[in-house]
Amino acid sequence: MTVRRISILGATGSVGTSTLDLVERSRDAFDVFALTAATNVDKLADAALRTGANLAVIDRAELLPDLRDRLKGSGCRAETGADALREAAAGDVDWVMASIVGCAGLEPVMAAVDAGKTVGLANKESLVTAGGLMTAAAARSGSTILPVDSEHNAIFQCLQGHRSQDVAKLILTASGGPFRTRSREEMAAMTPEQAVAHPNWSMGAKISVDSASMMNKGLELIEAHHLFGLPSERIAILVHPQSVIHSMVEYVDGSVLAQLGSPDMRIPIAHALAFPGRIDTPAEKLDLAKVASLTFETPDPVRFPALRLARQALEAGGAQPIALNAANEVAVAAFLDRKIGFLDIPRLVEDVMARTGAGQPQSIAEVIDIDRRSRALSIELMTEIAA
């Protein structure tokens, strides 16, 4: 494998840390150009020094002097601001890991796509909000988008070597999250600590809460539509509590192909990092005799209304998925801050969607404008919920 020059956007988060782990284990295969973070100066500086990165970008400008201090004499430039983030994504680099959380990741992902880079896409919110614009930009620039989300990575692997016209449907598996067997009454009293305690995966706080509400699967439904070009009715969701089958593709002849593995994000990240090759990972190898049984359930859209809302947003298109995502980001942050209850999250999302039209954004600037307005509306409506 030729040496890949890479940037990691969101290098201090859960996906970013797993990516760094793999890159540091295969030092001959990767050369780190840039690493970015929002606030975590220590972790960013340590990673930049360890990997010999050329550029480290911190989002909060007031933290730049600290970062410069930490990197003094190392040869690694410390920067802040949109231009620096764009340089990290679209500068002298072949492969970009998009692992910033939330819609904040949209502009740097688009910069990488517009510049024709190969993008390992973990930041599902960027596809949810601007999927059509992003895939069109990738087709224009020649950028390759490699899915890092374990479900989409599984589907991507199951599609290799097959004709798209032979695909009958995609089956996204879902663990069901920590509240899979809880009643609505029990869910109403759940705390942030209970919501982030995912039974199988170790992840950042926002996606962990999204897994508990199953909004994560809703966002993934929209993500799958944009990545693989299938309509809502040909993308099914199946609860599979063991998280061993990461997703499946059903073909017209009735064959179903699945990708399996231990629930460790380093497996899909390694696949995207090395594609079309493969690299070793320290992930535990799958021992099916030890797993013993794999079980499946139909998801319950009554206890998990986020599934219904996401399908509704996908089918309506335009501003609706942007409103869904923005309201969800605001609501999850408020829940983690103990300002609203767990069941207020889908309630707020539904209210914001109901007050949003279906206009089709024609540019990333329009997406960002709808996102900004949806956040303002979410904050306004949340004040009523919290009162």
Ligand X SMILES: NC(=O)c1ccc[n+]([C@@H]2O[C@H](COP(=O)([O-])OP(=O)(O)OC[C@H]3O[C@@H](n4cnc5c(N)ncnc54)[C@H](OP(=O)(O)O)[C@@H]3O)[C@@H](O)[C@H]2O)c1
Q: Where does this chain bind ligand X (CB under 6 A)?
A: 10-16, 37-40, 59, 99-101, 104, 122-125, 149, 201, 203-204, 206-207, 265
Distances (CA, A) of 23 to 84, 153, 196, 299: 22, 19, 27, 37
Residue 285, CB half-sphere, CA atoms under 13 Å: how many? 3
Q: Which is nearer to ligand X, 36 or 73 (CB)?
A: 36
Q: Which is nearer to ligand X, 37 or 330 (CB)?
A: 37
Q: Which is nearer to ligand X, 14 or 143 (CB)?
A: 14
Q: Which is nearer to ligand X, 12 or 320 (CB)?
A: 12
Q: Which is nearer to ligand X, 89 or 100 (CB)?
A: 100
Q: Which is nearer to ligand X, 16 or 321 (CB)?
A: 16
Contact predicate 134/126, CB 8 Å: yes
Task: Give the nearest distance from C-beta 199 to ligand X in angstroms.
Answer: 13
Task: Give the nearest distance from C-beta 325 to ligand X in angstroms.
Answer: 10
Q: Which is nearer to ligand X, 189 or 197 (CB)?
A: 197
Task: Give the nearest distance from C-beta 55 to ligand X in angstroms.
Answer: 14
Q: Which of 68, 67, 81, 84 is nearest to 33 (CA)?
A: 84
Residues whose CB is less than 8 angstroms from the CB of residue 339 and which lie 6 or more positions away in sequence, other chains included? 382, 386
Q: Which of 82, 127, 152, 298 is nearest to 226 (CA)?
A: 127
Q: Which parts of the chain are beta strand (E)?
A: 4-9, 30-37, 55-58, 77-79, 95-98, 118-121, 144-147, 167-174, 235-239, 245-251, 256-260
Query: Which residue sits closest to ligand X, CB atoms considered?
Result: 13
Tokens 């070009």, residue?
229
Task: Give the nearest distance from C-beta 60 to ligand X in angstroms.
Answer: 8
Task: Give the nearest distance from C-beta 239 to ligand X in angstroms.
Answer: 17
Task: Give the nearest distance from C-beta 249 to ligand X in angstroms.
Answer: 19
Distance CA(197)–CA(193), nearest Å, equals: 6
**Crossing angle (nearest 10°) for helices 14-25 and 266-274:** 60
Q: Which is nearer to ligand X, 11 or 170 (CB)?
A: 11
CB-neighbour burial class of residue 269 (10 A; exposed 0-12, middle 13-18, buried 19+): buried
Task: Give the nearest distance from C-beta 57 to ligand X in angstroms.
Answer: 8
Task: Give the nearest distance from C-beta 165 to ligand X in angstroms.
Answer: 29
What does the block give as tokens for 316?
């309506």
**How do 245-251 and 167-174 pair as beta strands?**
antiparallel
Distance CA(207)–CA(101), nearest Å, equals: 8
Q: Which is nearer to ligand X, 54 or 325 (CB)?
A: 325
Residue 174, helix vs strand vs coil: strand
Task: Give the nearest distance from C-beta 59 to ligand X in angstroms.
Answer: 4
